[in-house]
Amino acid sequence: MTPVSPDKIKITDIARAANVSPGTVDRVLHGRGEVAEKTKKKVLSVIEKLGYKPNLLARSLATKKSFRFVSLLPEHRPGEYWESPEKGIDKAREEIRLYNVSVEKMYFDQFDAQSFVAASESLIAFKPDAALIAPMFRNDAVLLTERLLRNRIPCVYIDSNAEDEHYLSYFGQHSYQSGYVAARLTETGLPPGSEILMVRTIRISGTSNQIERREDGFSAYFRDKGLTDKYRLIRTKLSVDNDSDNRKELTAVFEKHRNIRAAVVFNSRAYQLADILNKLKIKNIKLIGYDLSGDNIARLKDGSISFLIAQRPEEQGYRGIMALCDRVVFNGEINRINYMPIDIIAKENVDYYETTPRANA
């Protein structure tokens, strides 16, 4: 509560030092043209010399611009994974509201590629100033981002990386490495000779490459460490919804492989496997899964799941939106690839895991 801070130079200081009017400084700052080359150079050199930094508060207050962002996520129900990224988006939205940024939320059905295409059309028609996208359908996502790019609309991907060149920035996990971590957790303390069950859930529209790369990383760990003789990797597939088929399949697998001591599920449905194993009375299986959905947390707490790997989904949404804001509103630079931490969650630390980015003023 002392007197106001000193030595902040402002546009009028620049103007005085450069012998021009504030209006001219403004034109130079915004590259609006209508300034003689000589004058422009003079002003720029003064700006440089005095180290002028615009007051973002005043700028936002004065500007009449507003910005419309769009997010495109899978539809979801309470407790499901996608609730978390959306929470992060909401938090960011609240924080940048004062900068005249609005965020319109759009959705698609994650089991229906056609719904993604339809949503893409709506998104394009909306003419947003920026977009945050969960590119679950690789090809359609690329088509969408190509069109956005053509209109100079920046685009951030979260969750899974489509590996094309059409997005501004990616916030998500390094899937391959997360598989490596899953393998490390699986191996720790596992008796030699054990068999390890790798579970893939069949999806209607094909497995995402995110899941595939988790599996790749997982397998690679055992190869890289020369553990392929010590352990044996068994693969099986489960259906998303057909419970009785799944039981039959697993019964057969465990019949055939008597030494399965660990199992890994590479999507967020580890709870499904936990439930089936419970029903089949198969015990003492070390189960590793992904993502902190409500169901997974419950199984983690009751001991059916040993470890879950998390990827700060809220932070993905939050930082994705903030990056777009930095870019569009403040003309900042954004890191292209932003890998999230690969968080290891056990029963003992799950209650203290909060992905929530801080709320600020």
Partner DNA sequence: TTTATTTCCGTGTGCGCACACGGAAATAAA
Residues that bind DNA (CB under 7 A): 8, 10-12, 19-24, 26-27, 29-30, 34-40, 52, 54-55, 58-59, 61-65
**Closest distance to DNA from the beta carbon of 68 (Å):** 16
Q: Is 264 in the site for a second copy (CB under 8 A)?
A: no
Smaller CB separation from a second copy, 100 or 239:
100
Give the separation between CA 320 and CA 170, rounded to whole angstroms: 8
Contact between 160 and 99 under an 8 Å Cβ cutoff? The reply is no
117 touches which of a second copy, DNA, none (CB within 5 to 8 A by kind)? none
**Closest distance to DNA from the beta carbon of 33 (Å):** 7
Give the separation between CA 235 and CA 181, rounded to whole angstroms: 18
* Amino acid in position 207: T
Question: Strand 169-172 and strand 337-339: pairing?
Answer: parallel
Within 10 angstroms of residue 289's Cβ, the number of other Cβ atoms is: 30
Q: Is the dihedral of CA 304, 309, 315, 316 positive or negative?
A: negative
In the list 17, 69, 129, 153, the residue contacting a second copy (rule: CB under 8 A) is 129
Q: Is 340 in the site for a second copy (CB under 8 A)?
A: yes
Within 10 angstroms of residue 210's Cβ, the number of other Cβ atoms is: 22
349 touches which of DNA, a second copy, none (CB within 5 to 8 A by kind)? a second copy
Q: Is 125 in the site for a second copy (CB under 8 A)?
A: no
Q: Is 354 in the site for a second copy (CB under 8 A)?
A: yes
Residue appearing with tokens 């001219």: 24
Contact between 162 and 326 under an 8 Å Cβ cutoff? The reply is no
Give the separation between CA 270 and CA 275, rounded to whole angstroms: 9
Interior angle at CA 265, CA 165 and CA 336, nearest 5: 20
Q: Is 114 in the site for a second copy (CB under 8 A)?
A: no
Give the separation between CA 204 and CA 287, rounded to whole angstroms: 25
**Closest distance to DNA from the beta carbon of 174 (Å):** 38
**H-helix segments, 242-291:** 243-256, 270-279
300 touches which of DNA, a second copy, none (CB within 5 to 8 A by kind)? none
352 touches which of a second copy, DNA, none (CB within 5 to 8 A by kind)? a second copy
348 touches which of a second copy, DNA, none (CB within 5 to 8 A by kind)? a second copy
How many residues line the site for a second copy (CB under 8 A)? 60
Q: Which helix (H) or strand (E) holds 310?
A: strand 307-310
**Closest distance to DNA from the beta carbon of 96 (Å):** 16
In the region spanning residues 297 to 326, those forming contacts with a second copy, defined by CB under 8 A, are 318-319, 322, 325-326
Q: Is 295 in the site for a second copy (CB under 8 A)?
A: no
In the list 22, 39, 67, 236, the residue contacting a second copy (rule: CB under 8 A) is 67
What is the contact mask toward a second copy in residues 170 to 209, using x (rule: CB under 8 A)? ---xx--xx-xx-xx---xxx-------------------
Question: Strand 155-159 and strand 130-133: pairing?
Answer: parallel
- Please report, for residues 186, 250, 258, 306, 308, the alpha-carbon distance to residue 299 in angstroms, rounded to integers and kept in the order given: 17, 19, 24, 9, 10
Give the separation between CA 345 and CA 142, rounded to whole angstroms: 33
Q: Which helix (H) or strand (E) holds 198?
A: strand 195-202
Q: Is 220 in the site for a second copy (CB under 8 A)?
A: no
**Which parts of this chain interact with a second copy (CB under 8 A)?**
1-5, 55-58, 60-61, 64-68, 98-100, 102, 129, 173-174, 177-178, 180-181, 183-184, 188-190, 221, 318-319, 322, 325-326, 329-330, 332, 339-349, 351-354, 357-358, 360-361
